[in-house]
A and B are shown apart, each in its own frame.
Chain A
């Protein structure tokens, strides 16, 4: 079985400051990793994914994430946030040979002016 832990449930951050959202996973097999964003009153939208290759993955809206196999982490970063980045962010893993995504509990980002 796999599990995902998002270490921060809420992250307040000022506009134009950097932000890092932490995600750790556990799995006994190879996994694919995802970050999704949920804006208020909307469904989830894919930010970025890691399938293989370079461990630094760039996504939409200036976000990037780094896969660290030894630390089983997939932290999400943005160097300078905007008010519009206020949302909930979910880390998820999918076994390489499976159908199902396992989600973390989510991190709510509140960007303050």
Chain B
């Protein structure tokens, strides 16, 4: 069965802290994605990775960075968390060829105080 897991369901951090969100997939997928979800805005792409050590900016990369050292793991980093980064963060993965379905993790609800 397809599985994407995220390291935390809920996270509370202080302004200025460095925050790591981790995502692991067990499907040997080439592509991995980080989104943030805000009410009324749907999901917006922060970054995606199409291979190990390869990354590409999405629509809202400012204030974020990513790391992909292994195929199954994709990390989102908030270098200095701010209150406007309070949101739900969703990770997804998909195969590099064929059908374009993305598989999603359960999400991490991050609150920055």
Contact = CB atoms under 8 A, between A and B. Distances in A.
**Chain A interface SS verdict (over half):** strand
Interface string B1-27: 000100000000000000000000000
Interface string B81-106: 00000000010100000011110111
Contact of A49 (B31, B45, B56, B99): B99
Contact of A99 (B35, B50, B101, B107): B50
Interface of B: 4, 31, 33, 35, 40-45, 48, 50, 56, 58, 90, 92, 99-102, 104-107
Contacts of B43: 44, 90, 92, 101, 103
A69 interface: no
A112 to B, nearest CB: 21
A43 B105 contact: yes
Contact of A9 (B40, B102, B104, B106): B40
B42 A44 contact: no
A99 B31 contact: yes
28 contacts: A4-B42, A9-B40, A32-B100, A34-B101, A41-B106, A42-B107, A43-B104, A43-B106, A46-B101, A49-B100, A51-B99, A51-B100, A90-B42, A90-B43, A94-B100, A99-B48, A99-B50, A100-B33, A100-B45, A100-B48, A101-B33, A101-B45, A103-B35, A103-B42, A103-B43, A104-B42, A105-B41, A105-B42
